[in-house]
Structure 1
């Protein structure tokens, strides 16, 4: 086996050692422990007896550990670790490339295309990945697919052929060969070691239930409260314990529900720092995308320690971070939906915006009949439907209707998009070129549609009043200057200040 990855890509070795010995869940996914005597790599929270330090190597990613020849632990299950958010968020080149890999970019395209999308040479991109993550992009892609397959084999009763499809493999033969080479056992053999699968749904009449891990602390109540205040009737149902919505297409409608994983520990004595995702009718080919959207929507890969360390240097934010250490950045299910809702919500109350958007969804969305929670009746309208649909009589002003059509048309012709590899500046520049879209809306979209951690609507009146402690109000320029010290986590400062102010942000854009 090769030597461990460069310590520069890891937390300090002494920190790793203390976190491993204490099984500190705050470090879950930030590094992995590989045991040379067994050939197994684990999460820091693994409940197995701690190996001797001289037998341990630390790796910055699961892909790095697998590239060195180690296999994932069947007890602590590395596939449940949250991603290392520092490498998957923001505008850093590796982060933008990882977002594309997470969406399956390398499944059908060569590495050269990925490098071109992030404006680097292929060799330079590979070097950056090895420096940061300890593995090349193709290795990261392969590990991601196999670990997702491992989760499905462990937690569900999906047929192996459907697991292969869900993990992005073109054939069962290729999947079996890749799995056997990496993990030294066939997929069916792994399932024999997975007691969870016997109790899980197969997707045929029963829901698929998946565990989505996060690093504590996590304030699910605050997340649901934010989403409940903006829940779109017919499309979403949110109560104090769950978020549910219609997903899929008119030909294959489905629905999902997200809530807390049952308290306590699982059967392997691993702390259950996770959300519970129920999937009803989601086809195998859409499982990876669905899980990725939910992870982004509920901000499950954030690193609260890194965020707090950066923001707590500001005295205004210190008490907010202490009060709500588990507050996360709530995103939305679909970029187009968030854009439409943001435009409709400009300069009106949240309640009024919900009413107007619900009318639009009822008229132009596709009606569905689901056996889910009461109130799930429609898919949100497609881009094509709103580009061509009649928006008269819904209560929208002429300007708002024009902007909604302009957004739909611009998405169809490619002038704007929600590509995850765009930098924040590029994204904002493209969107503010549209009529009716100002800097506030562009940065709000970056927050809610992309989950961008550094988006910052400096024009927001609530923020301008919330930051000073003397009752004054900052200008947008003054606020932006103050927030420079909050990079690259300015969006988290926004959420803390909005939450503290308890004033809905959707209605606060002022047009120049």
Structure 2
């Protein structure tokens, strides 16, 4: 077996063991290619195991395709979760991949994108080949083609809409690229569509186990905004898009115990579909590798028991950056319930009603910065200072002084935001944690964190907590979720003293 690649793979023995045992925990962390069939598979492929001397391992689907292998029709590599080893943090590759997910290559040249992450295009290409086994454009094209393959397999969307949804502006270029990668034209894969045309499509969004979907829903349910989103014990739903042509989504567990979520999506603009799915994968942290996170954190006596108790805890993101910013400002030094009440009032007063409610309970869009920049939010109960902070943030976003570009390094993002009146370190880090899904964001001034990390001892100072958390990098945001949950559970089980 050839393991002599210049980009990272799990240990070859681990790859071999995972392949033979069909271990779902390694799904997306490497791909198995078979020289006798010229097909590449997920580690959990149900097909009979090939002979060891015919096996090649690749760190990415793009690397396997660059080597001349085509995706398996049985295990479907398009369903693999991403690999957060290079999707997270501030590394050049992670920042570039975030740009790609946001559609940067739709408008930027490769040179311009490389400049955005602070390197030359030649160096960017070298880094991608070293780490992912393929240059940036090949990684980008493979991602689009795998999404197209999923749409062709799981939906009845017309091929022209599949091309648009997967980021191709030309049906001719889409057909040619798909034929080259899959050795068959798109329409041949579409011979027996698995769904019938309708207003919504259903897609499978895979994750690596363990995954605590109930915990993410519980976190979001306590913060859900009536009219904008509906969250119950089993699902998340939201309205989005334009008021006259709204879209909606509904996310729940995939039936049958598969390691996947079931997405029902109505998207009036097919060209936005790939970006919407990427946004949902980020929001529900579907590409995290709980093994690597656990390995990095379990040496801590503070975190070890929490990791054992909740091994599938993930980082809940937010749908929209400005919405998270407003929520963070409203949440300064007040309870979650109080902040939600204020946010609900803002939605009811300034949110945009959709033309026709697509789903019961989904009837308003959260107001954008242009809707709040000149209004007096004291009318809905905000203090003078917080009302001014929300207006200031809205103005700064409209002026371009701040933004939610996903490729920003954490320190740069925090520095830009704390320069605004009313925004401190806690608020900036909370926004980085929820809006950017940055794995190392850490609102160290948080009182609950400082108490929970003390393990029943004297409350830690912010400085002491930061010193303790140095050993938790680059996964400090996950420690926030564990400590918040432990504090919440402790509060729920502590008997209340009777009032006098």
- TM tier, shorter chain? over 0.9
* Residues 376 and 387 in structure 2, CA contact (< 8 A), matched pair in contact too: no
Alignment of 1:345-424 (within 5 A): 345-370=331-356, 372-424=358-410
Q: Secondary structure in 2 aligned to 1:120?
A: coil
Query: What are the residue-to-residue correspondences of 1:48-447 with 2, within 5 Å?
Result: 48-192=47-191, 195=192, 197-198=193-194, 200-202=195-197, 204-205=198-199, 207-264=200-257, 272-370=258-356, 372-447=358-433
Deviation at 1:376, TM superposition (A): 1.3
What secondary structure is seen at the aligned counterpart in 2 of 1:330? coil
Is 2:463 the partner of 1:477? yes
1:283 is displaced (CA, Å) by 2.2
The unaligned stretches of length 5 or more in structure 1 are 265-271, 506-512
* Contact 1:30–1:84 (Cα < 8 Å) also in 2: yes
Listed one character per residue, the Cα deviations across residues 48-68 of structure 1 (whole Å, up to 9, x for unaligned) are 000011000000000000000
Deviation at 1:25, TM superposition (A): 0.3
CA distance in 2, matches of 1:103, 1:470: 43
Partner Cα distance (2:412, 2:268) in 1: 33
What SS does the corresponding residue of 1:10 show, helix, strand or coil?
coil
Q: Within 2, Cα distance between the matches of 1:341 and 1:478? A: 27
CA distance in 2, matches of 1:375, 1:347: 30
User: SS of the counterpart of 2:402?
Assistant: coil
Q: Where in structure 2 are the equivalents of 1:15-54 lying within 5 Å?
A: 15-54=14-53
CA shift, 1:124, in A, is 1.0
Give the Cα separation in 2 of the matches to 1:458 and 1:405. Answer: 26
Q: Cα–Cα, structure 1 residues 222 and 235, in superposed 2: closer, same or farther, change >3 Å?
A: same
User: Which residue number in structure 1 is paired with residue 494 of structure 2?
Assistant: none
The answer to whether the 8 A contact 2:214-2:233 is kept is yes
Deviations 1:64-89 (A, max 9, x none): 00000100000100010000011000
- Conserved? CA contact 1:5–1:59, under 8 Å: no
Matched residues in 2 for 1:280 and 1:390: separation? Answer: 35
Cα deviation for residue 371 of structure 1 reads 5.1
How far apart, in 1, do the equivalents of 2:456 and 2:483 lie?
15
Would you say how many aligned residue pairs link Structure 1 and Structure 2? 490
- Partners of 1:97 and 1:90 lie apart in 2 by 11
Q: Please state how far the C-alpha of 1:347 moved relative to its aligned partner.
A: 1.9
> Aligned with 2:230: secondary structure?
strand
State the alpha-carbon separation in 2 of the partners of residues 251 and 126 from structure 1: 42
Deviations 1:68-112 (A, max 9, x none): 010000010001000001100011111111111122222332211
- Offset of 1:368 from its aligned partner? 1.7
- Tell me, yes or no, if the aligned pair for 1:463 and 1:497 is still in contact at 8 Å: yes
Matched position secondary structure for 1:502: helix
SS at match of 1:151: helix
CA contact (8 A) 1:370 1:376 kept: no
SS in 1 for 2:442: coil
Q: Which residue of 2 aligns with 1:498?
A: 484
Q: Output the CA distance in 2 between the equivalents of 1:396 and 1:326.
A: 37
Name the stretch that deviates more: 374-383 or 420-429: 374-383
Over 3 Å counting, the alpha-carbon distance change for 1:138 and 1:436 in structure 2 is same
Return the alpha-carbon distance in structure 1 between the equivalents of residues 489 and 246 of structure 2.
Answer: 35
Q: Give the Cα separation in 2 of the matches to 1:93 and 1:41.
A: 27
Paired with 2:127 and 2:311, the residues of 1 have a C-alpha distance of 32
Give the secondary-structure state (helix, strand or coil) at the position aligned to 1:481.
Answer: helix
Deviation at 1:5, TM superposition (A): 6.1
1:13 aligns with 2:12: yes
- For residues 173 and 108 of structure 1, the distance between their equivalents in structure 2, rounded to whole angstroms, comes to 20
Q: CA deviation at 1:190?
A: 1.3
Distance 1:83 1:31 in 2: 10
Distance in 2 of aligned mates of 1:109 and 1:172: 21
The whole-number CA distance in structure 1 between the counterparts of 2:102 and 2:196 is 25
Whole-Å separation in 1 of the counterparts to 2:276 and 2:114: 25
Tell me if structure 2 keeps the 8 A contact 1:364–1:389.
no
Contact 1:9 1:134 in 2 (8 A): no
Counterpart position of 2:497: none
**Contact residue 438 and residue 477 of structure 2 kept, 8 A:** yes
Deviation at 1:251, TM superposition (A): 2.9
Q: Contact 1:5–1:60 at 8 Å: present in 2 too? A: no
> What secondary structure does 1:76 align onto?
coil
Secondary structure (helix, strand or coil) at the match of 1:305 reads: helix
